[in-house]
Amino acid sequence: MSTARFDLPLSEHHQRLASRAMQVGIALMLALGVVTLNLSVVVNGGLALAATALPAVLRRDYRLPLNAGLTLWITSALFLHTVGMFGFYDDLWWWDHMTHTLSATIIAATGYVAARAVDVHSEDIHLPRGFLFVYIVLFTLALGVLWEVMEFAVRVGADVLGLDPVLIQYGLSDSLLDLVFDTVGAVVVGLFGAGVFGGLTAALARRLDAARGRQRDSPRSSRTGTDEASSHVPLDAALSRDRSNARRSWLVTAALGAVVAATLVRGDLLWAGFATAATCFVLVPAAVYRTPRVMPPWRLLVLLLVPVVARAVAPEGVVGSLGTYLAVAAVALLVAVEIHRFTTVEMTPWFAVVTVVVTTMAAAGVWAVVRWLADLFLGTQFLLVPGLTEAQIEDDVMWDFVYSTVAGVAAGVVFEYGFRRGEGGEAGLTE
């Protein structure tokens, strides 16, 4: 059985010894947390110690090949995080960035292996290397946003209950730099994942094959184009030449154009730009096929129009924030359909929905970092608004992350339901 390689300048025996030593270290830190009644150390140390057993479980119960180097890599990230709970996060400015980058590589590797294994396993999914790279970055950023949401929720809950939080946020700059270093970790895995995780990917694909009662001697070859089977993939049904759908879609598109005009008149250039970009994506099928009859499903365009209008009418508060990210989710699904139809990428509806969810969440992180960097280096005031304290700005950003998570998950549920109805012959998103 081939093994996922992560070679280090140490013998395999010494790598295993180092992993065991770190496990013992985490256990000792956990015991110290119990003795000193340090809830933060107890929770983080307990979870870390449990997680160090995961590679052995995957090898034993699922026959997934993780060599000593991969085990050491995972254990090191957990060990350094636990050590950080004893003051290193406070005293060393770089400690948090180091642990976040290391942890991000693990998250990115998980996303890479899962996506690549599904690609190898499914005849209806094909993820070229460039698309997979972008997907891994979005996946890692989405999990980074989710982590910040968890830290924020724990902090709010601890404040309400009058307890010390077990997960600590160190300020706006720290949270946004976490996302920057999450991106660094994702890029590293995106560039070098194929060489390191090939064996693990193949093993997981075989497990998926076995679960469906099929065995494969080797992964299927990458395809450079579409084949006849792709016409039967339900995602293709999202574009049709139906006259009735085209008429309705053009009416919704005209409404989007009206929103663009209204936001321009009001001076909301950013939202006008977003609505314009969304309208351009709507028009791509008609432009490619050179006929106004080929349009996206009018129901999908309504799901785009409603939040666009809501955000234009009420740009602030819950309605504006949820509207923003529901609109992002709708555009993400539209783009996923067009990527599937007009490129060598092939996706099933469920994979497109997953892509929409991670893209929506990642978009919140990217937008926060872009605004923050623009304010720092270009003198803008997108995020660092005069008169607001850093704590207030940080809370606003965290709520933005919460809204993006809620919108992404909600949109994913709605889109999945719509595809299922369409496949069942009812009035779903694809009809």
- The strand pairing partners of 66, in sequence order, are 4
Structure tokens at 9: 């300048």
289-325 b/e (C-beta count within 10 Å ≥ 16 → b): eeeebbbbbbbbbebbbebbbbbbeebeeeebbbbbb
Q: What is the pTM of this model?
A: 0.88
Helix axes 12-35, 68-83, angle to 10 degrees: 30
Rounded Cα distance between 341 and 157, Å, is 45
Residue 369 has pLDDT above 90, yes or no: yes
- For 302-349, the pLDDT digits (tens) are 999 999 999 999 988 899 999 999 999 999 999 999 999 999 999 999
Closest CA to 216 of 117, 148, 282: 117
CA distance 109 to 202: 14
The listed range with the strongest mean pLDDT (111-120, 167-176, 192-201) is 111-120
**Of 411, 400, 402, whose CA–CA distance to 371 is shortest?**
400
Give the tens place of pLDDT for each residue, 192-243: 887 788 888 999 999 888 887 754 444 444 444 444 333 334 677 778 788 9
Going 176 to 318 to 323 to 259, the CA torsion angle's sign is negative
CA gap 49, 29 in Å, rounded: 10
Q: In one letter, which amino acid is 327?
A: A
